[in-house]
Structure 1
């Protein structure tokens, strides 16, 4: 075990709660920076990306470190908004523990819940920091109540307000009051009962975890202080007790007290084996500086100029310089060991989520299961020549953001970019512009199709006479509908050589060509069966081309008599929502022509429901903002292709008219 104690703390919480400002103050107090930046001025150490400066929100994780006595503490500042949740989950995965920040006025929000569930699932102990206690009309009781509605927490500090101004806090364990210079002051009489109640709750909760303490507590005897302290330490490390502390990141109230508390009670890094092993939890990819991988060292050592094995890609990687970061500022390291976070440039094969080891037989670390992206837009460059560049540079962006999806829709011939929200995709567009691409986002085209409802027989003849050989092909086909999802079937029923064998495939080729544009709105035709039942040929003028044309003509003319109809893609959609929002969600889904399949309780969140429906794709192209609005940001959904169904007549007519107007 190293003589220097190391721990990695993820700073997480809902957007706007002051995480980056908190880290800024901690860095300033610990002399890692000489001047404090602010969100308003766009010069925070941890929000160094140009997009973050412009938008004044964190959009990616960033790291820093401080040293307190014999401890090195790495801080991972994570984004709080849903659009950028991927980096927050990566930061939690790379940490030993966390500080969950809650704004005193806003209390627990949707993203606070999301991060709590992730910390619980990952078994990462954490403390809660109720921030911005300097705000006017702040109500600690209200904020604390919202926290306890999500999980059981214990107040370790209580703010003191005088004349609507926060002047200090009460240490609940010692029942002593302090100002924010950490000087003891008188405990206000009006807060004594409240402080006593919080104190009793703390003593009772800790004592209940050890029989000896519980006996002393119930009998009124003095508690064994050493046993009490050890029990409290173990309880926080095992998530049995979640402490709540208070302060103001903006004014620097209690931020050092918070980090000292976290250093004392939250767990440190472990180094349990001799294997050198590291987890790549973030990739930066910048047009100027190139690729930079952040690695959490899990065990062993990572010296510069060494070779490791990527267990996921089964490739060797050479590590050059080993650096550490404070925001974007790099510092070279002579070596790194368990508990360190290092930055390594230009790894060839390695991506976010990969494990590096000096043992090829080692097991890769299971990485974060990313939430499915659910808002999609079509990506258009300024010219068709941009397609290859878009694919190349999107590959670089995908390396640094695993919540994105990018693919080509073959049916609509569009590039489809899918992310966590509109702001998420706007950031991607801005990043592509830095690579020199002028990009526009449009709603994706819906891959409508056409089919038929009736059967017919039709004959067509292609005849053309010019100088020399002419063209002649004559076919009779039978067209009939197939069950939904059957696709296309071609049946050769020619007997007696009415059409020579070598021209039969030509007829099929002509039919398939004609099926690419249907009679209603030129959407592809599907679920159709064509039988070639008769025909005629000319020994000199018949050719492959003439029978392709005859087959195409017969199909185009015949399909008009088969009552053509429009089909639309149907998705199976799972919507995950709080129980109190189910009625609104179902009402909205019904208005979008959705059909309910089932509803059941979702996972450990007993107040969450999973609603499964079938719904037309066209109805949910812009569903994400509606769902977030109806559920105050708590709902999410995912979809998969189910099949095609006939579009209702009135709706179909509008789609056909729209398609024809675009042609003109």
Structure 2
């Protein structure tokens, strides 16, 4: 009865135990086997056929075409780069050639390993429903689909939130400088929510993540696993820019260099997108006013211009761009000219469309004894928090709030001092929202100074 109710999603089973003290672990594992669905209990998995764009299904059957999803990448100091994957259909052997349909690249599996806590067991084959780690997959990352090259399928990818906090990082010594690049590459491969970039203007390496604690953990891993000591700057909030009204803009890139010149001319329509929609590009050119071979160059120019906004150099998001019109020259037009024209038009259009800034909002849950509730609520109110509710867990009060990320730096120290060290909190990214006019000018000035 419990199994049937669990399979129907009518009950949630709760077991007590402690991993630290190895209490209740075996009953938990037995309950997973006894009450949770096996691969055979679920319907066939759906994906997209990359050749046709239509929905394709894969049954949980060893005789079906092979399909798997990579869900973790680890840099092991003894065996190298390990890609963990879960087989959804079919089977795969060691040293087999597979297709990474996400990146449209063929790869060859090396050894296949089944991981058992602190030891590994080499296997020759993995079947539907199985989980294994593979060596030799150089171009496969978290969320990629692996499949039979003759029967391609694209499974639903794992979607990761964008980083919301950035800090500048620099090595402490020359020896650290030689190792820091390799450490950052490996950490980026393992963690899709961790990003690095090099700022050409300041000459700094910038690392970005999901919060202060996230970056602190990664820096500690750099020190412990890669023996890299690094200094970091003050955390910076990852603001975004967006537009608030539709507009139309024209971009011309016309140059004459004596001989052949450069000619590109585009007309773009810009519209605000739904919050979280990112960037959408539509081509509405009719009657050949711009040859189709130049359309990708216009889109590339627009995407490049979106990387640095017009208010404070933050990325532009949640915008719909439509290529509406333009013109070309039979001799002088080129991909470079139309790329530049697209970039110019986008910048000009954003300036006209009443741009504003978006700030990341975090979902915060604070756990505190009742006698400290008032002090913590007062502090959250001063941090522009929106209190969504206050719950009760025994003698503990749980505050559910939405707080701007920029107001949370150093909060771990503050909440401990307000509660004599007895309150704790957890925090995760929730959404982006428009910045209040009172803070807009202050952030713009600070962003331009970066």
Counterpart position of 2:296 = 505
Distance in 1 between residues matched to 2:231 and 2:224, nearest whole Å: 10
Alignment of 1:408 onto 2:201: no
Q: Tell me the C-alpha RMSD between the 2 structures.
A: 3.8
After superposition, the Cα gap between the structure-2 partners of 1:511 and 1:455, relative to the gap in structure 1 and judged at 3 Å, is: same
Query: Within 5 A, what are the aligned runs for 1:146-545?
Result: 311-312=116-117, 315-316=120-121, 379-382=169-172, 385-391=178-184, 408-409=194-195, 413-414=206-207, 428=220, 432=223, 437-545=228-336
Aligned residue among 654, 661, 664 for 2:442:
654
After superposition, the Cα gap between the structure-2 partners of 1:477 and 1:380, relative to the gap in structure 1 and judged at 3 Å, is: same
Any idea what SS the aligned residue of 1:625 has? helix
Alpha-carbon deviation of 1:445? 2.0
Alpha-carbon deviation of 1:472? 0.6
Alignment of 1:93 onto 2:21: yes
The size of the alignment, in residue pairs, is: 294
Tell whether the 8 Å contact from 1:508 to 1:548 is kept in structure 2 after alignment.
Answer: yes
Distance in 1 between residues matched to 2:233 and 2:290, nearest whole Å: 48
After superposition, the Cα gap between the structure-2 partners of 1:647 and 1:531, relative to the gap in structure 1 and judged at 3 Å, is: same
After superposition, the C-alpha distances for 1:16-63 in whole angstroms (9 at most, x for unaligned) are: xxxxxxxxxxxxxxxxxxxxxxxxxxxxxxxxxxxxxxxxxxxxxxxx
Alpha-carbon deviation of 1:593? 0.8
Counterpart position of 2:389 = 598
Tell whether the 8 Å contact from 2:250 to 2:267 is kept in structure 1 after alignment.
Answer: yes
Any idea what SS the aligned residue of 1:93 has? coil
Alignment of 1:640 onto 2:431: no
Distance in 1 between residues matched to 2:389 and 2:364, nearest whole Å: 11
After superposition, the Cα gap between the structure-2 partners of 1:434 and 1:552, relative to the gap in structure 1 and judged at 3 Å, is: closer
Alpha-carbon deviation of 1:316? 3.3
After superposition, the C-alpha distances for 1:90-134 in whole angstroms (9 at most, x for unaligned) are: 7x52699xxxxxxxxxxxxxxxxxxxxxxxxxxxxxxxxxxxxxx
TM-score by length of 2: 0.57
Distance in 1 between residues matched to 2:179 and 2:294, nearest whole Å: 41
Tell whether the 8 Å contact from 1:451 to 1:528 is kept in structure 2 after alignment.
Answer: yes
After superposition, the C-alpha distances for 1:450-479 in whole angstroms (9 at most, x for unaligned) are: 011122111121111124321111111111
Any idea what SS the aligned residue of 1:507 has? helix
Any idea what SS the aligned residue of 1:610 has? strand
Any idea what SS the aligned residue of 2:322 has? strand
After superposition, the C-alpha distances for 1:320-347 in whole angstroms (9 at most, x for unaligned) are: xxxxxxxxxxxxxxxxxxxxxxxxxxxx
Distance in 2 between residues matched to 1:479 and 1:572, nearest whole Å: 31
Point out the structure with max Rg over C-alpha. 1
Distance in 1 between residues matched to 2:299 and 2:270, nearest whole Å: 13
After superposition, the C-alpha distances for 1:552-581 in whole angstroms (9 at most, x for unaligned) are: 111111211111111111111111111222
After superposition, the Cα gap between the structure-2 partners of 1:586 and 1:614, relative to the gap in structure 1 and judged at 3 Å, is: same
Any idea what SS the aligned residue of 2:317 has? coil
Unaligned runs of 5+ residues in structure 2 are: 1-17, 25-113, 123-134, 136-164, 199-205
Tell whether the 8 Å contact from 1:471 to 1:542 is kept in structure 2 after alignment.
Answer: yes
Distance in 2 between residues matched to 1:658 and 1:649, nearest whole Å: 15
Tell whether the 8 Å contact from 2:239 to 2:314 is kept in structure 1 after alignment.
Answer: yes
Distance in 2 between residues matched to 1:376 and 1:472, nearest whole Å: 39
Tell whether the 8 Å contact from 1:492 to 1:533 is kept in structure 2 after alignment.
Answer: yes
Structure with greater helix percent: 1
After superposition, the Cα gap between the structure-2 partners of 1:614 and 1:410, relative to the gap in structure 1 and judged at 3 Å, is: farther
After superposition, the Cα gap between the structure-2 partners of 1:522 and 1:418, relative to the gap in structure 1 and judged at 3 Å, is: closer
Tell whether the 8 Å contact from 2:179 to 2:226 is kept in structure 1 after alignment.
Answer: no
Distance in 2 between residues matched to 1:520 and 1:384, nearest whole Å: 34
Query: Within 5 A, what are the aligned runs for 1:82-121?
Result: 92-93=20-21
Distance in 2 between residues matched to 1:655 and 1:465, nearest whole Å: 40
Tell whether the 8 Å contact from 1:480 to 1:530 is kept in structure 2 after alignment.
Answer: yes
After superposition, the C-alpha distances for 1:213-270 in whole angstroms (9 at most, x for unaligned) are: xxxxxxxxxxxxxxxxxxxxxxxxxxxxxxxxxxxxxxxxxxxxxxxxxxxxxxxxxx
After superposition, the Cα gap between the structure-2 partners of 1:626 and 1:489, relative to the gap in structure 1 and judged at 3 Å, is: same
Tell whether the 8 Å contact from 1:379 to 1:415 is kept in structure 2 after alignment.
Answer: no
Tell whether the 8 Å contact from 1:406 to 1:417 is kept in structure 2 after alignment.
Answer: no
After superposition, the Cα gap between the structure-2 partners of 1:513 and 1:310, relative to the gap in structure 1 and judged at 3 Å, is: closer
Any idea what SS the aligned residue of 1:521 has? coil
Distance in 1 between residues matched to 2:370 and 2:223, nearest whole Å: 40
After superposition, the C-alpha distances for 1:598-641 in whole angstroms (9 at most, x for unaligned) are: 22113xxx111221111111110211100111111111111221
Tell whether the 8 Å contact from 1:377 to 1:441 is kept in structure 2 after alignment.
Answer: yes
Aligned residue among 356, 360, 366 for 1:569:
360
Alpha-carbon deviation of 1:648? 1.3
Counterpart position of 1:613 = 401
Alpha-carbon deviation of 1:410? 5.2
Any idea what SS the aligned residue of 2:449 has? helix
Tell whether the 8 Å contact from 1:575 to 1:611 is kept in structure 2 after alignment.
Answer: yes
Structure with greater strand percent: 2
Alignment of 1:624 onto 2:402: no
Alpha-carbon deviation of 1:514? 0.6
